[in-house]
Amino acid sequence: MATTQDDRTAEPIRGGQSATQQALEAQTALLPYALAVFAVSLPAYVWAGSHAVNAVWMTGTFAIFAGAWGAFYGVVNWLKNPDNAANTVQRGRVQILSALIWALAVAQIAAFSDGAGPAREPLLMTALAASVVIIFFASPWLPSLLIVGPAAAAGPLIALFSRPEDKDLASNAWGAIALAMALALILNRILRRQFSLAAEREILIADRAGKVEEAKRLAQSKSDLVATLSHEIRNGLTGVAHVLAAAAGRNGRGAPSREQLTAALDAANDLIAVLNTTLDSETAEAGRLSVDTRPFDPVALLRDLVLLNRPNASVKGLELTLHVPPELEGGHAGAALADAHRARQIIANLIGNAVKFSVRGRVEARLEITPSGRLAVEIADTGPGLTSDELERAFEPFARVERTSAGTSGAGLGLSLARQLARLMGGDLTAHSAVGVGSCFRLELPYDAQAVAERGIEAVEAVAPDPSERRTLKVLIAEDDALNAAMLRAVIEQLGHQVVHAVDGRRAFELAKICEFDLLMIDGRMPNMDGPATITAVRGLEGPGAQVPIVAVIGGDAEEARECTDAGADAVLRKPVSVAAVARAVADAVAVTRREIPTRLTA
């Protein structure tokens, strides 16, 4: 997570509060010792006071001391309450006021001593010693020292300086108080340094504990990732390997049947889906997943997905329906504000799960505008349903509900990733379910009734161009990975186009200079000259070659897509490619030259 300026300034503030708390705690810990000192000093004060001429005032002094002791015990009991002790400001005020009670007691002793006759000087020295004791016990907390210390020393010093004959004694007393204050300030400085170090240590311990917990969480996530991928990859590749072995004629087996080929294709597609979801989840977990918010038509997107999933639902005997309110019909009723590719990913996952886990009944997709003006997409099914605990577990990464998911493939990341994506786009994904009745998942996204949806982004990926408009294109593909190049060539040739392959960006640029192509498909990351550099170089050519449609073929990184579109790519195709996605990207890129749709679309 990125660190902001507020984050950087928060730690010293927390440290200062902790140091203040420690100073108050240290002062509180000295209270019993302060009471013990006064208790030990009391007999000496009583003996000296017995020689005073004002015996009645002496009795009043004992009453004042008793009141001060009672107030101190009250403060000690008040501090035993955790709520009181935790309030630093209030606690500081109470401790200063309680210390001032003793300072006033010392002041009245000084006043009593000033009229004590022959016992005047011993009693004034006793009062001065009491003020020094108060200064010492106030030293842990600087505000208390600066307020209580001078207040405690004021009474004896005023009494001593009030008579000219005590000038030398008063000067010595003033020096003693000054020395006591200086030593107390030095002690306070040392204690404050220790308190600050302790506060910083507490912060470091807390940060370390957080880092350790984060490391444990990431380690567990990586462990779950490895366990999930190893299981899914092993199962998927085993099925594909068996079919390929049959096709190769090994072990005396005949050619694979259509059913075997279909099963192998399904296993490969499931494996690709698991890998894509896992990579997206890991990217989101690391905080690097980004979304491209643009207005799109949610009705068209949902209709496309319902159309694509209807064959699978029909095979299982399920009815798959779509309900669109009248205010969203007509294609001009505003647009959803989100990443159309990610919204499609979420809704496709929800519909796919509903069809996968429902044995009988129906699956309904519903659209509505909420009272708060947001778009809500609900996918309801008549599947097995989930308990509240199972529903909560379904949204956890790598967690699968064994009661309902037995016998089905998947990494247990779909719902977790879907909720992360929804919240990243300013929306949310919630659900409610009942065992034996079914489940309903609700996706909410920002919506603007005045926005105009962009065309091309939410189009059906599975729909190929109209055969009446299809023409053979001469396509240059630039791809350094031989396997990726072979797959892309096979898909493009399957669509009826001709292919020329360049092994890197520099070779692609040289071919684009001397040959005429109808379309360039350029990998985003290549040696010698990467995708953005190649696209920039082609756009810098003179003549018609600079206007050729370009499709950037990327690994799915948002920054890579941005670099390619900024360089001049007309469309972006994410790996791994499929026939439908390539057909859509080719159609969009070619349409750019005809000015039928906006440039720089994402397939």
> pLDDT tens digits for 36-49?
776 776 676 666 66
**Percentage of residues in the chain with pLDDT exceeding 70?**
71
- The pLDDT-based confidence of 182 (bands split at 50, 70, 90) is very high
Q: What's the average model confidence in pLDDT over 277-289?
A: 58
User: What is the model's pLDDT at position 534?
Assistant: 92
User: What is the model's pLDDT at position 428?
Assistant: 92
Asked whether the predicted pLDDT for residue 3 surpasses 50, the reply is no
Say how far apart CA 460 and CA 282 lie, in whole Å.
Answer: 27
User: Of the given ranges (173-177, 395-399, 415-419), which has the lowest mean pLDDT?
Assistant: 395-399
Q: Which of 61-70, 177-186, 222-231, 234-243 tops mean pLDDT?
A: 177-186
Q: Which of 24-33, 79-88, 510-519 tops mean pLDDT?
A: 510-519
Q: What's the average model confidence in pLDDT over 194-212?
A: 84
| Residue-wise pLDDT tens digits, 392-408 | 878 876 566 655 654 45
Residue keyed to tokens 């892309």: 488
Which DSSP symbol is given to 554? E
User: What is the model's pLDDT at position 319?
Assistant: 92
Q: Please enumerate, as own/partner, the contacts of 145-151 that have beta carbons within 8 Å and a separation of 24 or more.
A: 145/181, 145/184, 145/185, 145/188, 147/96, 147/100, 148/96, 148/99, 148/100, 148/103, 149/180, 149/181, 149/184, 151/100, 151/103, 151/104, 151/107
User: What is the model's pLDDT at position 368?
Assistant: 92
Asked whether the predicted pLDDT for residue 151 surpasses 70, the reply is yes
User: What is the model's pLDDT at position 561?
Assistant: 80
**Percentage of residues in the chain with pLDDT exceeding 90?**
13
- The pLDDT-based confidence of 185 (bands split at 50, 70, 90) is very high
pTM here is 0.46
**The two three-digit tokens of residue 455, written as one number:** 């065309």
Asked whether the predicted pLDDT for residue 92 surpasses 70, the reply is yes
| Residue-wise pLDDT tens digits, 439-449 | 999 999 999 88
Asked whether the predicted pLDDT for residue 294 surpasses 60, the reply is yes
**The two three-digit tokens of residue 140, written as one number:** 């842990």
Averaged confidence pLDDT in the chain = 77
Is residue 108 within 8 A of residue 159, CB to CB? The reply is no
Cα three-residue angle 535-538-540, rounded to 5 degrees: 110
- The three-state secondary structure class of 1 is coil
Three-state SS sequence of 322-375: EECCHHHCCCCCCEEEECHHHHHHHHHHHHHHHHHHCCCCEEEEEEEECCCCCE
